[in-house]
Structure formats: structure tokens, C-alpha cells
């Protein structure tokens, strides 16, 4: 078997739950986090619903707060002390603390330059002296995960790495999306012929990845490999050929064949171009074996959580492998022709014995990442 790394702790927050356990339960119950938007002035926009986290109070830094919550959960789950010292913390994000800049500029909310860097808060909360932030759009957290494996493979490298992804909904990003969607989508509809676009979500996810299993404690699953590439073909449109290539590279790195994969966590943004590119690439790589794995797309319930989305899917895959429950894709009423042979779970959760999962994450600019994870049992 190729090298693999134990995942010993997980944590997450999203519109559908404030910890990983609650999120998974609500996803399996087909509970959507879509609700009337709370943060912005409704009359200024065509769209009126977002996948926000509901309990916002005061001027707290949104993305940073989500990040600290998810990391604390992951450390507790791993049985680790919150004093991280020089243990690396790698954070993937799309827009960092842009929402705080917006609120400072428009509303006068207090803010210092140091508070815009996740490292400041991680140092204050966890005494973390070795922090790094990667702004790699929608695949940012899986890019960070790939870099974590590089660190763990180095001679004399760390014994553990904390990997996280976080994003809050910013008004500038929401406004851009609102202006280009003359008819706003009523829901995120991955791989539906009537999909009209994505809707923003927010939250964070974190995992503790180790070089070797701990002497005591639980292993949540195993990371078999992560593949990344960047095609830069177009600023926003995906390239199906390069998506297919990153899947093949990940399979080689993990030492697996498509027929061995039991579960695929699809990127599934509900946008015309991205869903088509992902579907074509899946068909090209898996061939007739595309009928084998069960598949689902979480953004139908969480919205597009950007920097945290890859790890959100990875953590959900670990729970699915542990419980034998696969969360559904909701709002998929009329599947597009390109996925007619896919076993996409729709409407209700199903029971399925799965032990090997593929996690897809593809971002603007052709920033593509795929991870393979194995169940602990």
C-alpha cells in the first residue's frame, strides 16, 4: 500500500450545524441551511436568500470566528491540548477577512490590520507560532491538505499538522453574483438540467492529520493521497480535461483504481459550466465504473462554503464510512444527461457500506484538487 496518514480529529461549522456531528445528522435528514439573508439590506438585491450561520452577534470577525471554532473542535476530537506551539496550522480560504474590511469601511466597526490575518487569532487562542494561509478559491482547503502531506513526508518534519478551511459571506462577492444573475437561483441544484447558479454559504472545517497513528485515541480515517493542479485556462470556466487529469493523478498517488472507490463527494456547485465539466471528467476517468460509486453533493444543503467546502465534504465522507449513511443531494429534480449513469443519492439518505471515498474540489482559475480517504474500520 502507498503511504497514508491518519486523521485523528475533525471539526466543522456550517449553516446546517455548529459541529461535525450535528452537520452530518442534518445533512442525512436532508435539512437545508437556505434562509432569508440576515446580514445585508434586502431591498438592494435581487436575491434574498443565503446559507448563513444564524447566530451572529456583534462585530466579531466572521471567518476567523468560524476558523477558531472548527480548529478547537478538531483538537478536542483528537485529544490534543489547545497549546499548539510550533505544530503547523494550514488554512485555506477564498476571501480571508474581507467581510470585516467591508464592515470597517461602511459601518465603522473596529478593526486593526493584524486582525485581518488568521495567524493573529490562532496565536492568541492556541499559541500557534507556525501558521500559513492559502487563498486558493473553492479548492483551498484541499490544497492546504496536500501541503500538509508534503510536511509530514519530510525528514524531521512535524508529527502532526492542523488543516482548516474557512470563509464568511462577503457583501462584495454576493453583490457580484447578484448582478450577473438576472433571475436568482431558488436553490443550489447540482447536476439538474434547470440549475441556474450557486448560492453562497459560510462556515469552516478542520482536521488533525498525523504522520503516524497516536499511541492512544481514535483514528477517524486515513488520507491516502491528494492531487492538485492549476490549468489557468480561464478565469472562471473549468476545463474538463484538466479536472480529469487531477483525478487520475490522485488515483496514482493513492494507489487506487476507479472501480475501488465506493463514494464520491462531488463538487457540485449547481452552475451550468462547473457541473458539466465535473460530469464530463468523471465519465472520462471512471468510464463504465462510473456506475459503481455512490455519489452526493453537499452544496445543495450548505451552499457554496468556498474555502471550507473541500474539508466539509471530506469530513462528511469520514462520517459516511463510519456510519454507513450517505447524505442525499436535494433539489435535484431532473438530472442532466451527462449524469444519467451516476448513482447520485437524491432526496433521502441511504444506507451503503463504503470504505474508500473520493473528494472533489475545483476553483476559479482552474485550481483543482482531489483527495482520497479511507475509512477507519
Class of residue 274 by CB neighbours under 10 A (exposed 0-12, middle 13-18, buried 19+): buried
Spans of all domains in the chain: 5-375
How confident is the model over 303-362, as pLDDT tens digits? 999 999 999 999 999 999 999 999 999 999 999 999 999 999 999 999 999 999 999 999
- Cα dihedral sign, 297-303-307-311: negative
Identify which of 139, 137, 200 has the alpha carbon closest to the alpha carbon of residue 174. 200
Q: What is the CA radius of gyration of the chain?
A: 19
pLDDT for 231 equals 85
Q: Is 328 helix (H, G, I), strand (E, B) or coil?
A: coil
Stretch 200-228: mean pLDDT: 94
- The CATH architecture to which 5-375 belongs is 3-Layer(aba) Sandwich (3.40)
Distance in angstroms (rounded) separating the CA atoms of residues 134 and 310: 14
Within 13 A of 8's CA, how many CA atoms are on the CB side?
A: 22
Count Cβ atoms below 10 Å from residue 284 Cβ, excluding itself. Answer: 16
Contacts of 271 by beta carbon, 8 Å cutoff, 6+ apart: 195, 197, 198
pLDDT of residue 217: 77
H or E element: which one contains 300? helix 299-302
Q: Are 336 and 190 in contact (CB under 8 A)?
A: no
Residue whose C-alpha is closest to residue 312's, from 51, 56, 24, 73: 24
Strand 203-210 and strand 5-14: pairing? antiparallel
- The 8-class DSSP code of residue 145 comes to H
Contact 87, 128 (CB under 8 A): yes
Q: Is there a contact between 242 and 366 (Cβ–Cβ < 8 Å)? A: yes
Residue 210's contacts (CB-CB under 8 Å, 6 or more residues apart) are 5, 6, 7, 8, 152, 159, 160, 161
DSSP structure class, residue 38:
S
Q: Rounded distance, CA 303 to CA 99, Å?
A: 18
Q: pLDDT per residue over 174-187, tens digit each?
A: 999 999 887 899 99
Mean pLDDT computed over 1-9:
86
CA 37, distance to chain mean position in Å, is: 22
User: What is the reported pLDDT for 60?
Assistant: 59
Q: What is the mean pLDDT of residues 193-202?
A: 95
What confidence category does residue 1 fall into, taking pLDDT thresholds of 50, 70 and 90?
very low
Amino acid at each position: 500500500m502507498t503511504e497514508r496518514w491518519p486523521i485523528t480529529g475533525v471539526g466543522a461549522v456550517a449553516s446546517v450545524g455548529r459541529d461535525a456531528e450535528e452537520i452530518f445528522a442534518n445533512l442525512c435528514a436532508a435539512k437545508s441551511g437556505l434562509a432569508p439573508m440576515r446580514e445585508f439590506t434586502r431591498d438592494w438585491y435581487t436575491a434574498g436568500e443565503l446559507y448563513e450561520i444564524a447566530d451572529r452577534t456583534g462585530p466579531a470577525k466572521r471567518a476567523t470566528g468560524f476558523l477558531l471554532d472548527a480548529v478547537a473542535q478538531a483538537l478536542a476530537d483528537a485529544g490534543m491540548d489547545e497549546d499548539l506551539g510550533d505544530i503547523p496550522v494550514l488554512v485555506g480560504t477564498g476571501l480571508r477577512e474581507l467581510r470585516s474590511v467591508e464592515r470597517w469601511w461602511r459601518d465603522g466597526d473596529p478593526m486593526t490590520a493584524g486582525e485581518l490575518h488568521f495567524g493573529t487569532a490562532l496565536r492568541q487562542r492556541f499559541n500557534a507560532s507556525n501558521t500559513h494561509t492559502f487563498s486558493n478559491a473553492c479548492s483551498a482547503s484541499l490544497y492546504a491538505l496536500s501541503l500538509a502531506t508534503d510536511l509530514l513526508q519530510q525528514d524531521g518534519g512535524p508529527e502532526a499538522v492542523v488543516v482548516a478551511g474557512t470563509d464568511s459571506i462577503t457583501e462584495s462577492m454576493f453583490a457580484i453574483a447578484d448582478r450577473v444573475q438576472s433571475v436568482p437561483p431558488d436553490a443550489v441544484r447540482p447536476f439538474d438540467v434547470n440549475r441556474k447558479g450557486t448560492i453562497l454559504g459560510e462556515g469552516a472545517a478542520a482536521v488533525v492529520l498525523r504522520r503516524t497513528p497516536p499511541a492512544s485515541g481514535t483514528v477517524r480515517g486515513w488520507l491516502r493521497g491528494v492531487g492538485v493542479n492549476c490549468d489557468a485556462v480561464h478565469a472562471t470556466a473549468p476545463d474538463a480535461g484538466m479536472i480529469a487529469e487531477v483525478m487520475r493523478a490522485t488515483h496514482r498517488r493513492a494507489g487506487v483504481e476507479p472501480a475501488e472507490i465506493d463514494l464520491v463527494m462531488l463538487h457540485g456547485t449547481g452552475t451550468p459550466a462547473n457541473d458539466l465539466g465535473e460530469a464530463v471528467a468523471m465519465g472520462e476517468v471512471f468510464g463504465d465504473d462510473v456506475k459503481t460509486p455512490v455519489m452526493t453533493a453537499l452544496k445543495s444543503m450548505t451552499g457554496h462554503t468556498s474555502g471550507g467546502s473541500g474539508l466539509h465534504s471530506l469530513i462528511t465522507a469520514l462520517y459516511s464510512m463510519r456510519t454507513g449513511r450517505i447524505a442525499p443531494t436535494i433539489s435535484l429534480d431532473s438530472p442532466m444527461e451527462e449524469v444519467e449513469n451516476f448513482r447520485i443519492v437524491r432526496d433521502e439518505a441511504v444506507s451503503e457500506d463504503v470504505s474508500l471515498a473520493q473528494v472533489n474540489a475545483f476553483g476559479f482559475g482552474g485550481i483543482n484538487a482531489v483527495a482520497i480517504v479511507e475509512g477507519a474500520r
